[in-house]
Amino acid sequence: GAVVSQHPSWVICKSGTSVKIECRSLDFQATTMFWYRQFPKQSLMLMATSNEGSKATYEQGVEKDKFLINHASLTLSTLTVTSAHPEDSSFYICSARPPGLVGAFFGQGTRLTVV
Amino acid sequence: QKEVEQDPGPLSVPEGAIVSLNCTYSNSAFQYFMWYRQYSRKGPELLMYTYSSGNKEDGRFTAQVDKSSKYISLFIRDSQPSDSATYLCAMMGGNEKLTFGTGTRLTIIP
C-alpha cells in the first residue's frame, strides 16, 4: 500500500518557539496533502489542504499565520507551528491520496507538547 | 447537526463475537465511504472503502452502505484482541476532503 511518512513522531518545545513537522509521500507523488489535528478521544479535524506549488487552503477558524504550510515538492509538505503555546499541544496528522486510489493514507502522526 | 454521526462508544465485546459499527450522514454529496482503524497514538489506517450501496467483504470485515437511508456499517466477524482500536468512518464528496465521524473505541476482551 501507499506509504506516507511523518516526522518527528513526537516533539516537546518551549512556549514561544516554532516547530516544523514534515510529511512525505514515499512511493507516490502527491499534488495535494492534508493536515489534521486530533485532540484526545476526538476525531480528526481538517486544518488545511496543502497544494504543491501554491498556497495552502485553510479551514475556517484556523490561523494561517500560526500554522504555516509549505508544499515545495510533490513528495513533501511541511507544517510549521509558529510561536507555539500550550494550547497548541495536540496530535497532528498528515495525509495524501495516491493518484487513482480512493481514500487517503495517513502519516504516523506527530504528538506536539508545548511547555 | 453534524454531517457525520458516529456512536463514540466505548464498545466492549468478547473475543470471537461479531462487531457492528455504524455511521449516519446527512450530506447527499458524499460519494465514497471509508472505514479507518486507529491504534492509540498512531495515524489512521484505511481498512475498506465503498462507492455504491451494497456490501463489500474483505476477510473478516464487511462494509455495508445504504445510500437511501444515509447509513453505513462495518461488521467484524470472529473478533480478535488485535482488533481493539478506534474505528472511524469517513466520507468524501467531489472535493477530495474527508469528513470523519467521531470514532468508536472498540475493545475485544480475550
Could you read off the pLDDT of B45-80 as tens digits, one per residue? 999 999 888 899 999 999 999 999 999 999 999 999
- The sign of the CA dihedral B69, B8, A35, B34 is negative
Among B43, B88, B92, the residue with its CB nearest the CB of A107 is: B43
Contact in structure between B91 and B4 (CB atoms under 8 Å): yes
Quick one: CA torsion of B24, B47, A89, B6, rounded to 10 degrees? 10
Q: Pairing relation of β-strands A32-38 and A90-96?
A: antiparallel
**Which whole number is the average pLDDT over A74-97?**
96
Q: Which residue has the cell 470471537?
A: B16
Residues of B in contact with A106 (CB under 8 A): 36, 43-46
The residue in chain A having the minimum alpha-carbon distance to the alpha carbon of residue B50 is A102
AA letter at B72: I
For chain A, give the mean pLDDT: 93
pLDDT at A38 over 70: yes
pLDDT at A29 over 70: yes
CA distance A14 to chain B (A): 22
Please report the pLDDT score of residue A101 as a whole number: 82
The residue in chain A having the minimum alpha-carbon distance to the alpha carbon of residue B86 is A41
Tell whether omega for the bond before A98 is within 30 degrees of 0, i.e. cis. no
The contacts of residue A19 (CB under 8 Å, 6+ apart) are A11, A13, A80, A81, A84, A112
Please report the pLDDT score of residue A1 as a whole number: 65
CA distance A22 to chain B (A): 14
Q: What is the pLDDT of residues B73-109, one digit of tens each?
A: 999 999 999 999 999 999 998 777 899 999 999 999 9
pLDDT at A40 over 90: no
Contact between A109 and B8 using a beta-carbon 8 Å cutoff: no
Contact between A43 and B102 using a beta-carbon 8 Å cutoff: yes
Q: What is the DSSP-derived secondary structure letter of residue A59?
A: P
CA distance A17 to chain B (A): 24
With bands split at pLDDT 50, 70 and 90, how would you rate the model's confidence at A22? very high
CB atoms within 10 A of CB B70: 17
For an interface test with B, the pick among A25, A57, A102 (most B C-beta atoms closer than 10 Å) comes out as A102
- Spell out a b/e string for A72-108, using b for 16 or more CB atoms within 10 Å of the CB, else e: eeebbbbbebeebeeebbbbbbbbbbbeeeebbbbbb
Q: For residue A62, what is its C-alpha cell?
A: 484556523
Q: What is the pLDDT of residues A60-84, one digit of tens each?
A: 999 999 999 999 899 999 999 999 9
The contacts of residue B59 (CB under 8 Å, 6+ apart) are none
CB atoms within 10 A of CB B75: 17
With bands split at pLDDT 50, 70 and 90, how would you rate the model's confidence at B25? very high
